[in-house]
Amino acid sequence: MQILFEKQRDLLYTFKLDLINSIDVILKELQQESWSPDEAGYNQNSFPTRFRVRQVRGSILHELEQYVEHGEFKSLILTELYKNKSFGSIWGLSPERMDKMTFIYGMFTKDLPTYNIGIHTDDRLHVVQGMIYFIPTDDPDQSTTFYTTFEGDNPMRIPTGSGAGYFAANTNNSWHTGKNSSTQDRYSLIFGIRLKL
């Protein structure tokens, strides 16, 4: 799989992952998976319209999960972030030390119509958070939007599509919202680079 990153603003990137299989084949596998209700922890609210796959069964999905969790995906993201001097100064760590102190995970997610999460930043164990979308076209009703303040200044909607996605460094100003106001289920792979604590 090939991936192309594009910087959108400081420490926020979109990308296009060239998927080996068609979106129809991927969606068919996703629809056949066993979905469990999302379980938010540590006094966070659970989302009744969000579901996760705990253990993928489909071979195509397994290959995507392996690419994210065990391929060069993490290294490519960290390399891109360290091109921006502000990322290294935020953490005070060399790229090699950051790599050793973190791990990457990926989890397939299904958001039902009416899913909506308000403006937030991610928890402090996350260094980076991102999503890969499995949506046939760019759909504003199934997208994530980033802002520069809690008040919602400078909105930037992230395009969706087959293999489209984003990643963002988790900073004090990485405010974002997510929604599915369409009539279709929203499928994605949510990934994060987290501290090993």
pLDDT of residue 23: 96
Q: At residue 130, what is the residue type?
A: G
| 145 CB-near residues (< 8 Å, 6+ apart) | 155, 156, 157, 158, 176, 177, 178
Distance between CA atoms of 30 and 87, rounded to whole angstroms?
35
Q: Specify the pairing of strand 50-52 against strand 12-18.
A: unpaired
pLDDT of residue 46: 61
Lateral strand order in the sheet of 116-120: 116-120, 175-179, 144-147, 156-158
* pLDDT over 60 at 171, yes or no: yes
Nearest to 112 by CA among 182, 162, 176: 182
Averaged pLDDT, 159-184: 96
Residue-wise pLDDT for 105-140, tens only, equals 999 999 999 999 999 999 899 999 999 999 999 999
Residue-wise pLDDT for 54-81, tens only, equals 899 999 999 999 999 998 999 999 999 9
Q: At residue 14, what is the residue type?
A: T
* pLDDT over 80 at 166, yes or no: yes
Structure tokens at 126: 């996350």
Question: What range does the domain containing 82 cover?
Answer: 2-195
Domain count across the chain: 1
pLDDT of residue 71: 86
Residue-wise pLDDT for 1-58, tens only, equals 889 999 999 999 999 999 999 999 999 999 999 999 887 654 455 678 999 998 999 9
Residue 152 backbone zone (phi > 0: left; psi -120 to 50: alpha; other: beta)? left
Residue-wise pLDDT for 131-144, tens only, equals 999 999 999 999 99
Distance between CA atoms of 91 and 127, rounded to whole angstroms?
9
Q: What is the CATH number of the domain that holds 133?
A: 2.60.120.620
Distance between CA atoms of 15 and 102, rounded to whole angstroms?
22
pLDDT of residue 43: 46
